[in-house]
């Protein structure tokens, strides 16, 4: 999970797409036609899942700048895309998000990124794009619900939450605090902010994603450090057995956020 391989991003894309809040997407769709040739900045774009999910709501003539520090992921992005009623050209930038060296845009967006960044980074981002709308999808909000209960859920998930707060290269990560802090900072900056849950609710048909998520939890540095190895191993095999037997319920809390400037 910490390594954003193309395989991991591909595995999560379908669950992400169906989990995004449709109400916020419709708000964006209503906002977009007032702008022609919309410029969009996608931060931490990976292999382009945010673009594929969002572009169909933003009309014709979109110009995307997609930023990521992983050239292998960027290489997967096409130069242009289109569908019924929408078209987009795409320029990729291979850059570290710590640099802030990217163009102004009509819309600033990111998906599955905010939990990795620090509060300071987020404040800088908002300050550097005064008046630009922000759409942040699928930020982890720290909630994890697992059924049936297991005695080691508490220690394993607490250690995992601590791991999410560790630095991922952009200062101390917001982890599960990300959606609430983003909402507060944007309101303080004068935005009208709407948020909605976009939880992963993983069932039997998502077995590969659930297995990768469970394995990622047990591989997290803080879990390995804080929880006895035999407890972690037992927890994982028990959870994989639940999954295999079709009795695992797994909800991973995420939130979407749309911030529009009050003036329009
Ligand atoms: C969880 S993935 C999300 C990718 C994509 N937005 C999606 O929804 O599939 C986080 C992305 O942020 C990128 N990333 C993380 N830290 C970065 C940094 N410091 N500079 C640039 N990109 C970064 C990773 O390479 C990865 O592609």
What are 70-94's pLDDT values in tens digits?
999 999 999 999 999 899 999 999 9
Checking if the pLDDT of 222 tops 90, the result is yes
Average pLDDT over residues 218-246: 97
Residue 24 confidence (pLDDT) = 98
Distance of alpha carbon 11 from alpha carbon 247, whole angstroms: 21
Distance of alpha carbon 94 from alpha carbon 91, whole angstroms: 10
What residues does 101 pair with on adjacent strands?
Answer: none
- Cα of 238 to ligand 1 centre, how many Å? 31
pLDDT band at 262 (very low <50, low <70, confident <90, very high): confident
Averaged confidence pLDDT in the chain = 95
Checking if the pLDDT of 176 tops 70, the result is yes
Tokens of 239: 């959870």
Three-state DSSP at 35 gives coil
Q: Is the CB of 136 under 6 A from ligand 1?
A: no
The residues, ordered by sequence, that sit 6+ positions from 225 with a Cβ below 8 Å of its Cβ are 159
Tokens of 175: 């982890």
- Cα of 253 to ligand 1 centre, how many Å? 19
Three-state DSSP at 39 gives strand
Q: Is the CB of 111 under 6 A from ligand 1?
A: yes
Count the residues in the chain.
Answer: 264
- Cα of 260 to ligand 1 centre, how many Å? 24
Q: Is the CB of 46 under 6 A from ligand 1?
A: yes
pLDDT band at 2 (very low <50, low <70, confident <90, very high): low
**pLDDT above 90 as % of the chain:** 91
Atom of ligand 1 nearest to the CA of 44: 12
Of 196, 76, 199, 190, which is closest to residue 136 (Cα–Cα)? 196
| Domain 6-261: assigned CATH number | 3.40.50.150
Of 24-28, 30-34, 222-226, least confident by mean pLDDT is: 30-34
Query: Which pTM does this prediction carry?
Result: 0.96
The 10 Å Cβ neighbour count of residue 83 is: 10
Three-state DSSP at 29 gives helix
Q: Is the CB of 44 under 6 A from ligand 1?
A: yes
Of 243, 222, 242, which is closest to residue 232 (Cα–Cα)? 222
Which DSSP symbol is given to 211? Answer: H
Atom of ligand 1 nearest to the CA of 4: 26
Give domain limits for the chain.
Answer: 6-261
- Cα of 113 to ligand 1 centre, how many Å? 6
If residue 237 lies in a helix (H) or strand (E), which one and from where to where? helix 229-244
Of 51, 52, 53, 63, which is closest to residue 88 (Cα–Cα)? 63
């Amino acid at each position: 999970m910490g390594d954003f391989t193309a395989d991991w991003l591909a595995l999560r894309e379908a669950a992400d797409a169906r989990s995004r809040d449709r109400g916020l997407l419709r708000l964006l769709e209503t906002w977009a036609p007032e702008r022609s040739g919309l410029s969009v900045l996608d931060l931490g774009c990976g292999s382009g899942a945010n673009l594929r999910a969002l572009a169909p709501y933003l009309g014709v003539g979109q110009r995307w700048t997609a930023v990521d520090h992983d050239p292998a992921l960027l290489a997967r992005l096409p130069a242009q895309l289109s569908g019924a009623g929408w078209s987009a050209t795409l320029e990729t930038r291979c850059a570290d998000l710590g640099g802030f060296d990217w163009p102004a845009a009509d819309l600033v967006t990111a998906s599955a990124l905010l939990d990795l960044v620090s509060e300071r980074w987020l404040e800088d981002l908002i300050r550097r794009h005064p008046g630009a709308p922000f759409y942040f999808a699928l930020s982890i909000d720290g909630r994890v619900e697992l059924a049936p209960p297991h005695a080691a859920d508490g220690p394993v998930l607490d250690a995992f939450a601590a791991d999410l707060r560790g630095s991922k290269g952009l200062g101390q990560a917001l982890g599960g605090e990300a959606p609430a802090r983003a909402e507060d900072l944007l309101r303080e900056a004068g935005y009208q902010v709407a948020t909605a849950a976009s939880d992963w609710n993983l069932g039997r048909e998502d077995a590969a994603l659930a297995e990768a998520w469970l394995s990622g939890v047990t591989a997290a540095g803080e879990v390995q450090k804080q929880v006895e190895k035999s407890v972690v191993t037992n927890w994982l095999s028990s959870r994989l057995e639940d999954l295999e037997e079709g009795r695992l319920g797994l909800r991973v809390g995420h939130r979407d956020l749309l911030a529009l400037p009050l003036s329009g």
